């Protein structure tokens, strides 16, 4: 069953209201290309992260960018059910359009990644994650992870 987008987006940080708009924009852009997407996960608790780590679905034992309201997993909506199947390279192009990092290349197009996460987009460069996790930095409205 596909989750309610408004409820999922309510977990995004109010520190940066523009963050709530980009999943909607990407979903709309994908729909224009004939691809139906749904926001599957935004905020992620440590308990959920631990479960996903145990299942081998993530390499991060502790919560990552999802925990800070700066990440979203967008999956295909196939007859009302979420699907991770198929090619998600289109999501990389849409993420870049909005200056977001796509988990398929982690902001390094053309560089092979050890752990591609093709349904994941985030508004934080991998190089800035350590400061985010330490609580010493949070992106402002004008932040561009590619700058």
Question: 42-88 pLDDT, tens per residue?
Answer: 888 999 999 999 999 888 899 899 988 899 999 999 999 999 999 99
For domain 5-134, say whether CATH 3.30.1950.10 is its number.
Answer: no
For the chain, percent helix, then strand, then coil, each to nearest 5? Answer: 35, 15, 50
Q: Per-residue confidence at 1, pLDDT binned at 50, 70, 90? A: very low
- Burial, 19: exposed, middle or buried (Cβ in 10 Å; 0-12, 13-18, 19+)? buried
User: What does the alpha-carbon distance between residue 33 and residue 105 come to, in Å, rounded to a whole number?
Assistant: 21
Is the pTM for the entire model greater than 0.75?
yes
User: What does the alpha-carbon distance between residue 36 and residue 90 come to, in Å, rounded to a whole number?
Assistant: 12
What's the pLDDT tens digit per position in 77-127? 999 999 999 999 999 999 999 999 999 999 999 888 988 999 999 999 999
What's the pLDDT tens digit per position in 4-57? 555 555 555 555 555 678 899 999 999 999 999 999 988 889 999 999 999 998
Q: What residue segments make up the domains of the chain, in order of their start?
A: 5-134
As a dihedral over the C-alpha atoms of residue 45, residue 47, residue 50, residue 52, rounded to 10 degrees, the angle is -70
By the 8 A CB rule, do 123 and 139 touch? yes
The residues near 37 (Cβ < 8 Å, ≥ 6 apart) are 26, 27, 30, 31, 74, 75, 76, 77, 91
């Amino acid at each position: 069953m596909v989750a309610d987008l408004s409820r999922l987006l309510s977990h995004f940080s109010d520190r940066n209201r523009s963050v709530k708009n980009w999943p909607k924009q990407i979903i709309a852009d994908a729909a224009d290309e004939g691809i139906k997407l749904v926001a599957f996960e935004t905020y992620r608790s440590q308990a959920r992260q631990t479960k996903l780590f145990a299942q081998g679905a993530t390499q991060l034992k502790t919560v990552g960018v999802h925990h800070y309201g700066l990440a979203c997993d967008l999956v295909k909506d196939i007859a009302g059910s979420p699907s991770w199947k198929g090619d998600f390279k289109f999501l990389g192009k849409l993420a870049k359009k909005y200056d977001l990092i796509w988990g398929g290349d982690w902001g390094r197009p053309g560089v092979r990644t050890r752990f591609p996460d093709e349904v994941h987009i985030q508004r934080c460069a991998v190089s800035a994650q350590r400061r985010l996790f330490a609580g010493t930095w949070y992106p402002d409205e004008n932040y561009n992870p590619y700058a």
